[in-house]
Amino acid sequence: MVEELLDDKKFIVVPAATANQLRIVSGRLGSSAASYAEEVFTQAFRVDEMGSSLEEAVDTYRLVTVQRGAGSICVNRARFKELVERLYLEDEEELSRIWYESGGWYGAYLLTKLNGEDVFGFLEKDLLVTWNLDEAEIRREDVIVSVRCTSFGMSRELTDLLVHYLVGRMEELGYGENDREVLRGLVIMKLLKKME
């Protein structure tokens, strides 16, 4: 009889630290460790069914909460491109200044918000999403940061504004531009850590 009651339950071996964390978090949430673990597994299976990984799901959630805190909004790419191109024709210099300042503000915001997390790894994912890029890569090697952004559908005007945005952002993070190669939809930059 007892075996029948326990038949639908299985034990999973986890490190003691993980089990302790499970008890702490479930207690804080007012749930049992078993109920919380079941919910965790259920959500992990949902992520898997979407063709993603837990790491990607958590990173995306982090990205969205940071962007929401920064006041980011979602705009259709085609309408945004049209709007920017019109404004660019009216006052290229002012629009470039605004994008440079926006990049600087966001860089400063990330420094305070991420608090020790990998800023460059976050920036890479952030650029992919916020600029709807096809590829983004940010590599840091000692005092040099290499940035490569590609978007096959990006206009010349948006490419130029992306450069100003990146320069503002990276300067706020303590890096000055050293080299740049820009074509429509392609930005390759090298930046050097500024000496204090």
- Average pLDDT for consecutive 10-residue bins of the chain (196 residues)? 57 87 91 89 91 90 88 82 88 95 94 87 91 94 95 92 96 95 96 89
Q: Residue 7: what pLDDT?
A: 60
Q: Residue 152, CB half-sphere, CA atoms under 13 Å: how many?
A: 2
Tokens describing residue 40: 């965790």
Q: Residue 2: what pLDDT?
A: 45
Q: Which secondary-structure segment (H or E) carries 107?
A: helix 92-114
Q: Residue 1: what pLDDT?
A: 40
Distant-in-sequence contacts of 32-41, Cβ < 8 A, 24+ apart: none
Q: What share of the chain is helix, strand, coil (3-state, %, to 5)?
A: 60, 15, 25
Q: Residue 160: what pLDDT?
A: 95
Model confidence, pTM:
0.80
Annotate 7-18 with b (16+ C-beta within 10 A) or e (fewer).
eeeeeeeeeeee
Cα angle 190, 123, 51 (rounded to 5 degrees) comes to 125
Give me the helix-helix angle, 92-114 and 54-69, nearest 10°: 120
